[in-house]
Amino acid sequence: MINKYKAICLDLDGTVYRGNEVIPESLSFIQQLLERGIAPYYVTNNSSLTAEQFKQKLGKMGIETTADHIMTSAIAAAKYCKEHFPNATVKMIGEEGLHEALSDEGIQLTTDAPDVVVVGIDRNITYEKLAEASLAIQNGAHFIATNGDKALPTERGLVPGNGSFVKLLETATGIEAIYVGKPEPYLLQYIHEKGYRKEEMVMIGDNYDTDILAGIRFGIDTIHVEGGVTSAARVLEQVEQPTHLFTHLLDAITKKV
């Protein structure tokens, strides 16, 4: 059934890999797609890495791709900023992935009186960074968040994600951020603009609240795979259902629906 799609959009952590370990069924699924001449897109809320760094990470797992087939929340945030606030100066909280994405769009970065504040995950966050961002937002800067993921899974357990810092800034300023990452549809929109029709696209992921809702909101088919964030039982409780619910990705090739 997967042959009907031309733009297969795969979530990464929990769908393609877990941490630094590839999920075997997903690796086999991707290899079969490539043998059929289909190069999937990789769609992630992680704003910390550049597209090239994600490409290298996937390469170490035996997955060959190109940087232009990787869509991160950092890339989407930079595109959104360029589209909606042209010629704006930007103050960013974030890491290398966000810095490169903004620079690639020709956006001028500043620390003084910015027009826009863009907040991505920053594992070297400080009180001063948050204070400066808060003051800039209160002084009229537009407020963009790469994503709203409140917690991140690690070997030690759940730790604060970008959404936790964004909520802190929203509380301090009384201003809600513009969220770009999943479940908002912007990452999929920018893939759509590469020349695909919506009926040619499918979003695949393990997290109902981000991956599946992003696809539903954008109006494309969705496939939920088990073994990640959201259990099949919880998915079945939702009002809006994914197009398909599979145990693992290989079902998308072997099952006829």
Smallest CA-to-CA distance from 211 within 196, 192, 226, 197 is with 226
> How far are the Cα atoms of 13, 161, 206 from residue 119, in angstroms, in the given order?
21, 11, 25
Query: Can 122 be counted among the known catalytic residues?
Result: no
Among candidate residues 11, 122, 149, 206, the one labeled active-site is: 11
Q: Are strands 142-145 and 178-179 parallel, antiparallel or unpaired?
A: parallel
Among candidate residues 13, 122, 149, 211, the one labeled active-site is: 13
How far apart are the two ends of the chain, measured CA to CA in Å?
Answer: 6
Query: Can 13 be counted among the known catalytic residues?
Result: yes
Q: What is the 3-state secondary structure (H, E, C) of 58-127?
A: HHHCCCCCCHHHEEEHHHHHHHHHHHHCCCCEEEEECCHHHHHHHHHCCCEECCCCCCEEEECCCCCCCH
Please answer whether residues 119 and 165 qualify as being in contact, where contact means their C-beta atoms are separated by less than 8 angstroms: yes
Residues taking part in catalysis: 11, 13
